């Protein structure tokens, strides 16, 4: 079932394009390297260094982590590698996420206290003076939105971060943060980090394009291979060395073995047949497909060895062919509010109902007030 790519897979540097992060001025590589599960846990520090080196040498400048990954060890590993390599700080982008810090109630959530203390802890583990982007790693219903936005504005003004974004927030929550920022002359989020793959599409294809056009929020996506499902490695069960077999990932094993999981595996067989005809692997096709979505600034890769990274980089050769993915898109149900352009890029025919009213209200309010984004304290 495994497909083989006929084109070389290790000559990607000239193919890694840089994109603006949303409508900010920050330029990031269209592919980024994530550290969830792998750094500080599944792989050795030596392999982590090999992956970062290979990624950086092939044009990837974006590295993503979080305070919760491997209980902070992912940040420590990432920081040690950066220090050892001696790369210019201005030549790469580091993003981290704040929410789950420790066991105490004061060490979790998005209170002003934890945003500031949590980010200080991340910077200490990373051995950096600042991160380029700090994400709120889910919304916190116990913290007022104004407190969250003010705290994010504070850490930016203090030089601890350059930008802030959201992760796993709803469109309405992002709009609320934007509205608060405009109302109090604070700094709004520039990016949402969202799961996006063949089986998880609505948010990135229906909701986020509207936010991108109206308020400039871009998308940084993760899990392009659906936690490895798209590679086909779970077609005959759960391999012992796979993520689904690891301690703490029973949820993934249950997902693979569920009725929905079996249906998805059946669809993946069709995807592999299509990849064979295109002369690439299913993983490469899936990543190239993610890169085509409007408003996607970067697709985060999760790999545990250099062979996987080289294969993933081969997706850029598929993407550079300017191949129309219309045939691929037709194999899955399109959201009702979408139409597909001649390039296979999903575009909204009408604003999604979920955010239309709030978007219009805020934009009309701004038009009347003539307000401008600034910095608060």
Rounded Cα–Cα distance for residues 130 and 114 (Å)? 17
Q: What tens digit of pLDDT does each residue of 113-127 get?
A: 999 999 999 999 999
Q: What is the pTM of this model?
A: 0.82
Q: What tens digit of pLDDT does each residue of 151-198 get?
A: 999 999 999 999 999 999 999 999 999 999 999 999 999 999 999 999
pLDDT of residue 260: 74
pLDDT of residue 12: 66
Instruction: Enumerate residue ranges in the chain where pLDDT < 50.
Output: 1-9, 244, 323-326, 329, 332-360, 371-377
Residue 251: φ, ψ to 5°:
-60, -35
249 is catalytic: no
pLDDT of residue 247: 63
pLDDT of residue 374: 42
pLDDT of residue 320: 74
Under CATH, what is the fold of the domain 13-229+287-327+349-369?
TIM Barrel (3.20.20)
What residues does each domain of the chain span? 13-229+287-327+349-369
pLDDT of residue 234: 61
pLDDT of residue 285: 93
């Amino acid at each position: 079932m495994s497909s083989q790519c006929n084109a070389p897979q290790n000559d990607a540097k000239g193919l890694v394009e840089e994109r603006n992060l949303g409508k900010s001025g920050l330029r990031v590589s269209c592919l980024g390297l994530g550290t969830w599960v792998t750094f500080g846990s599944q792989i050795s520090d030596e392999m982590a260094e090999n992956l970062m080196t290979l990624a950086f040498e092939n044009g990837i400048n974006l590295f993503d982590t979080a305070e919760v990954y491997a209980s902070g060890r992912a940040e420590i590993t990432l920081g040690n590698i950066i220090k050892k390599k001696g790369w210019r700080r201005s030549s790469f982008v580091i993003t981290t996420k704040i929410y789950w810090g420790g066991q105490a109630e004061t060490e979790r959530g998005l209170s002003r206290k934890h945003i500031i203390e949590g980010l200080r802890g991340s910077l200490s583990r990373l051995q950096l003076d600042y991160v380029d982007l700090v994400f709120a790693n889910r919304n916190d219903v116990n913290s007022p939105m104004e407190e969250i936005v003010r705290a994010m504005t504070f850490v930016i003004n203090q030089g601890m971060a350059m930008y802030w974004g959201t992760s796993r927030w709803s469109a309405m929550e992002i709009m609320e943060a934007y509205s608060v920022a405009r109302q109090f002359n604070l700094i709004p989020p520039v990016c949402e980090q969202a799961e996006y793959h063949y089986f998880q599409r609505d948010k990135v294809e229906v909701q986020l394009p509207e936010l991108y056009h109206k308020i400039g929020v871009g998308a940084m996506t993760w899990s392009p291979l659906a936690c490895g499902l798209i590679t086909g490695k779970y077609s005959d069960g759960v391999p012992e060395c796979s993520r689904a077999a690891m301690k703490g990932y029973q949820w993934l094993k249950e997902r693979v073995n569920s009725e929905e999981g079996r249906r998805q595996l059946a669809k993946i067989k069709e995807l592999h047949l299509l990849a064979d005809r295109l002369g690439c692997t299913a993983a490469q096709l899936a990543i190239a497909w993610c890169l085509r979505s409007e408003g996607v600034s970067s697709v985060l890769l999760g790999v545990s060895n250099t062979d996987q990274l080289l294969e993933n980089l081969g997706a850029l050769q598929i993407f550079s062919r300017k191949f129309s993915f219309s045939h691929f898109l037709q194999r899955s149900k399109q959201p009702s509010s979408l139409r597909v352009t001649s390039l296979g890029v999903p575009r909204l025919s009408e604003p999604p109902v979920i955010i239309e009213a709030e978007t219009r209200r805020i934009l009309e309010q701004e038009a009347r007030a003539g307000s401008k984004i600034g910095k608060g304290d």
